[in-house]
Every structure is written in structure tokens, then in C-alpha cells.
Amino acid sequence: MTPLGIYVHVPFCASKCPYCDFYSLRQGEDAWEAYTNCIIERIKSYQERALPVDTVYFGGGTPGLIGAGRIGRILDAVRESFRVQPGAEVTVETNPGVGDESLFPGLAAAGVTRISLGLQSANADELRQLGRIHTAEQAARAVELAHRAGIGNVSLDLMIATPGQTEESLVRSARFCREAGASHVSAYLLKIEPGTVYHERRDSLDLPDEDGVCGLYEAACSELERLGYGQYEISNFARPGLESRHNLKYWRCEEYLGFGPAAHSFFEGRRFYFPRDLSGFLAGGEPVDDGPGGDFEEFAMLALRLTEGLREERCRERFGHGIPQELRRRAAVLARGVYWRVPAEGVALTRAGFLVSNAVISELLL
């Protein structure tokens, strides 16, 4: 059996950023403790099966907020309940504004191998506009502390198309990631999501127009590549060999189990998720079935987010046949434009295609 990924959603943050629609709440130690105990019970319910696992990812929210001790206890439960493979990738997301100097040594001692830090921008004005609770200097210090604790693999998040951002300021943020020693950068386009403070204030935000967004995305991609971060997905860049193995499972349509409110799973061919409801989760609420997963269309849609695209040999491995002729033919016609490439080994989006991926992928997979 292909080893699974484990995802643990930690739905707590020190404060709510005005653009964020992730499921996260402001709660204290009692809630963190109850949540940790509940997650451990859920994980242990898989103990009898001793399934193989090769990635574990704590996302949120701000997992670092609950402290290395609780993350260590959850990891112990994962090791007791699954067959965690030697060399497994164990990632913890955190925020440069939380935790003290003991956080990273504690995480390293618990077996964490990778840190993902929400930097978002290295520009003080942009950080303020985004409602972030940290400075760029704190982020650089956090990377240094992680390295010093023996966690060399640190990813930084950047945001593209934020209020008032310019190509110059974005390029400076990209360079900051390199100077801080990040091995990986995730650079996401800001989306104004309903239900957020930004959505309420959307008419007064100084946001770039469509051409501006394209220019910013192109500037970020080019600069990150120039700095030695290869683009391997629409929004993800890594130094060679340091791509996120856990996130690659999502895009390669491999299976994973998610624990915690808002966590999704794809397991034994079915997709299911826990509702965005901490109280319901703590009260023993069951996951909601989301139907079967992993058919060719879903596999292709996810693969096309990757720079390598939909590859002939991966289709053969998974489905016993290559890319259907009709799809290849349609891709060849579309490749006369600027959004597609059709190399011998498959079908892939260009960088221009990445920017409009939802629309052009639907056009290909009609």
C-alpha cells in the first residue's frame, strides 16, 4: 500500500487576519488541551490497522500556538497508531509572532523536520495592512531559530496582489526569503473571500486590477526562480529536492487522512471531511461523506496544477492507460495559444495558464 499522509488541522490563532477564511478561532489553553486529547483519541482509532505513513502535516490556524509539548503528544499518537516510515516528512505551520525560543528545539525534539512560516510580506506597511502580528525581522529570527534547532527545511509564505503592493516590494519580499535562508516559498494570490473583513471593505481596498495581478505574479515567479527556487506548482517554489512531499500527495491524488474540524480526507477511494465546528468535533461528531474520489478527471485536474503537468507515465501507473487521445488532441489545439504546453511526456500549463488555471483546465477537460 502507498504510504498515507496525515493532516492535523489546528483551528487556533492568536488573532484573526482580516483576509483569512481558514477555520480558526481565538481560544485559550483549556480549548487547546481538550482539542489535543480529542485529536489523539481520533488518531488512535486507526491503531489496529497500523497503516503506513510517510508525511505528517500540522496546518491551521497556527499550530505552533499550542506549543511543542502538545504537538509532540499528537506525534506520539501518530507513531503508536500508524507505521511511520523512516525519513518521514513532518511539517508544522506557525506564525513568526507566536511562541518563545523553546518552540523550535521542542518541535525538533518531537520529530518535526519541516517548518512552514506565514511571512506574507517583508514590507512593514503591507504587514500592517494585512493585520499580521509580526515583523519581517521576527520572521528572519524564527528561521534562524529553526535552523539552530536542527530544522533546516523552512518554508515561507508570501501573498501576491495585496493592498498597495508593487512589483518592487514583492521582489524585495522574495529576496528576503532567500536572505533569511528559506528552502521553500509558497506564494499565493490574495482572494477576497466572503465572510472576511476584507470582503466587507473590498471597495475601499487599494487592490491591483487584472493586469496588475498578472504583472505581480510574473514578477514573483521570475524572481523566485532567479533566486534558485524552482516552480513546481502554481503557487509553490522550492530549492531542488525540497518540494513539500505532503502537498505533492494532494496534487498527485494520493490518499491522506485529515483530523480536526475543517480537515479533509481521501481514504480508500472516498473523500470525507469534518465540518468547520470545533464544539461538534470535540463532542465526537463524525466526518461527512463527500463521495468517491480519484477518477481520471480529478487526477488530471490536480496534476495540471503542477509544473510537470499531466504525465503519460503517471496515468499509465494509475489507470493502466496513457492520456486519452481525445484529450491530447484538444490540448494540441489549445497549445497554439499561450496557456498550454504539450511536451512528449504529457500536457502542462504555461505560467500564463497558471494564472487562469481554473478556466483553462475546465476547457481542456470538458
Smallest distance, ligand SF4 to C-beta of residue 64, A: 10
Q: Where are the beta strands (DSSP E) in the chain?
A: 4-10, 52-60, 83-94, 114-120, 153-160, 184-189, 230-233, 236-238, 256-259, 264-267, 270-273, 288-292, 310-311, 340-341, 346-349
Angle value at C-alpha 57, between 55 and 60, nearest 5 degrees: 170
Q: Show the cell assigned to 121.
A: 510580506
> What residues between 62 and 91 interact with ligand SF4 by CB under 6 A?
62
Q: Please identify, using beta-carbon distances, which residue of 28 and 320 lies nearer to ligand SF4.
A: 28
Separation CA 122–CA 256 (nearest Å): 33
Q: Please identify, using beta-carbon distances, which residue of 60 and 260 lies nearer to ligand SF4.
A: 60
- When asked if residue 252 is in the footprint of ligand SF4 (CB under 6 A), the reply is no
- When asked if residue 183 is in the footprint of ligand SF4 (CB under 6 A), the reply is no
Candidates 4, 6, 10, 20: give the one binding ligand SF4 (CB under 6 A). Answer: 20
- When asked if residue 95 is in the footprint of ligand SF4 (CB under 6 A), the reply is yes
- When asked if residue 24 is in the footprint of ligand SF4 (CB under 6 A), the reply is yes
Candidates 13, 56, 278, 306: give the one binding ligand SF4 (CB under 6 A). Answer: 13
Is the distance from CB of 12 to CB of 26 less than 8 angstroms? yes
Dihedral of CA 50/51/54/59: which sign? Answer: negative
Is the distance from CB of 271 to CB of 291 less than 8 angstroms? yes
Separation CA 274–CA 264 (nearest Å): 7
Strands 236-238 vs 184-189: parallel, antiparallel or unpaired: antiparallel
Candidates 16, 73, 141, 147: give the one binding ligand SF4 (CB under 6 A). Answer: 16
Q: Please identify, using beta-carbon distances, which residue of 9 and 249 lies nearer to ligand SF4.
A: 9
Separation CA 22–CA 121 (nearest Å): 19
- When asked if residue 190 is in the footprint of ligand SF4 (CB under 6 A), the reply is no
Candidates 61, 63, 106, 293: give the one binding ligand SF4 (CB under 6 A). Answer: 61
Is the distance from CB of 4 to CB of 255 less than 8 angstroms? yes
Q: Please identify, using beta-carbon distances, which residue of 3 and 96 lies nearer to ligand SF4.
A: 96
Smallest distance, ligand SF4 to C-beta of residue 130, A: 8
For ligand SF4, how many residues bind (rule: CB under 6 A)? 11
- When asked if residue 296 is in the footprint of ligand SF4 (CB under 6 A), the reply is no
- When asked if residue 36 is in the footprint of ligand SF4 (CB under 6 A), the reply is no
Q: Show the cell assigned to 216.
A: 505581480
Smallest distance, ligand SF4 to C-beta of residue 347, A: 34
Smallest distance, ligand SF4 to C-beta of residue 67, A: 16
- When asked if residue 60 is in the footprint of ligand SF4 (CB under 6 A), the reply is yes
Separation CA 357–CA 349 (nearest Å): 8
Give residues in contact with ligand SF4 (CB under 6 A).
Answer: 13, 16-17, 20, 22, 24, 60-62, 95, 118
